[in-house]
A = this chain, B = another copy of it.
Amino acid sequence: MSEAGAPVDFYFEFSSPYGYIASQLADDFEKRIGRPLRWRPTLLGPVFKITGQAPLIEVPMKGPYSRMDFERTARLHKVAYRHPGKFPIGTVAALRAFYWVSERDPAKARPLAKAVYRSYFVDGEDISAPAAVIAAARGVGIDAAALAAALEDPAIKERAKKEVEAAIAAGVFGSPFFVVDGEPFWGTDRMPMVEEWVRRGGW
Contact = CB atoms under 8 A, between A and B. Distances in A.
Interface of A: 47, 50-54, 59-62, 64-65, 68, 72, 75-76, 168, 171, 173-174, 184, 186-187, 189-190, 192-193, 196, 203
A65 B189 contact: no
A174 B52 CA distance: 18
B193 A189 contact: yes
Contacts of A61: 47, 50-51, 168, 171, 173
A196 B50 CA distance: 36
A51 to B, nearest CB: 5
Contacts of A59: 51-53
| A interface: dominant SS | helix
A70 to B, nearest CB: 13
Contacts of A193: 76, 189
A65 B203 contact: no
B189 A189 contact: yes
Contacts of A65: 171, 173, 184, 186
B173 A62 contact: yes
A164 B139 CA distance: 52
A171 B53 contact: no
A34 B52 CA distance: 41
A103 to B, nearest CB: 28
Nearest to A61: B173
B186 A75 contact: no
Contacts of A76: 193, 196, 203
A45 to B, nearest CB: 14
Contacts of A47: 61
B186 A189 contact: no
Contacts of A53: 53, 59, 62
